């Protein structure tokens, strides 16, 4: 399985101690030029019960966010079913198939990578990273998750900072959202 190579951003999600945090940097690039530094690449949906982040084309990501919200309306109590249905549509629909992005989607119980090739992947270790700086953020998060006192939000923040020091498509304008098990709200 080969996922598309997205050179645009870094989004990281971490599940730790009953919480899920997802964050992203703010850099928007066009080719080798930084166009914007404070874009919001992670958002909460479904009244703050689900987090979604994207890496890739901004216009394509907005289309995918809309499709995700449609699927979540159709399957309100079943986020895994909603993301599977999104992945199926994304792969099969002639228009959607051309969209150039990856999504990270999380609720209090699940964390998924969703791609246009039909992939819906739930990581074993509760850590998911996408985008050009994803591998750096993933490595840092794996090291920090079990060897530091950081909570999920702290792991995401620090790992994204590390990624921003390495990846030229990632900056240090980081926004992190968090879901807690009991409250189901973003922080």
- Active-site amino acid positions: 9
Which two tokens mark 22? 């997802």
Task: Write out the chain in H/E/C secondary structure.
Answer: CCCCCCCCCEEEEEEECCEEEEEECCCEEECCEEEECCCCCEEEECCCCEEEEEEECHHHHHHHHHHHHHHHHHCCCCHHHHHHHHHHHHHHCCCHHHCCEEEEEECCCCEEEEECCCCEECCCCCEEEEECCHHHHHHHHHHHHHHCCCCHHHHHHHHHHHHHHHCCCCCCCCEEEEEECCCCCEC
């Amino acid at each position: 399985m080969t996922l598309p190579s997205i050179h645009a951003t870094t989004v990281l999600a971490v599940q730790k101690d009953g919480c899920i945090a997802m964050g992203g940097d703010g850099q928007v690039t066009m080719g080798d030029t930084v166009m914007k530094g404070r874009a919001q690449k992670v958002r909460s949906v479904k009244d703050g019960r689900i987090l979604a982040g994207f890496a890739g084309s901004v216009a394509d990501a907005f289309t995918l966010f809309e499709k995700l919200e449609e699927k979540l309306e159709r399957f309100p109590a079943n986020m895994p079913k909603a993301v599977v249905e999104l992945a199926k549509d994304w792969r099969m629909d002639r228009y959607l198939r051309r969209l150039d992005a990856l999504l990270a989607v999380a609720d209090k119980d699940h964390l998924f990578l969703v791609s246009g090739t039909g992939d819906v992947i739930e990581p074993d270790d509760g850590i998911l990273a996408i985008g050009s700086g994803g591998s750096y953020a993933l490595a840092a998060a794996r090291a920090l998750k079990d060897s530091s006192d950081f909570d999920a939000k702290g792991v995401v923040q620090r790992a994204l900072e590390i990624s921003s020091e390495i990846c030229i498509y990632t900056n240090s304008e980081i926004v992190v959202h968090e879901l807690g098990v009991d409250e189901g709200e973003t922080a």
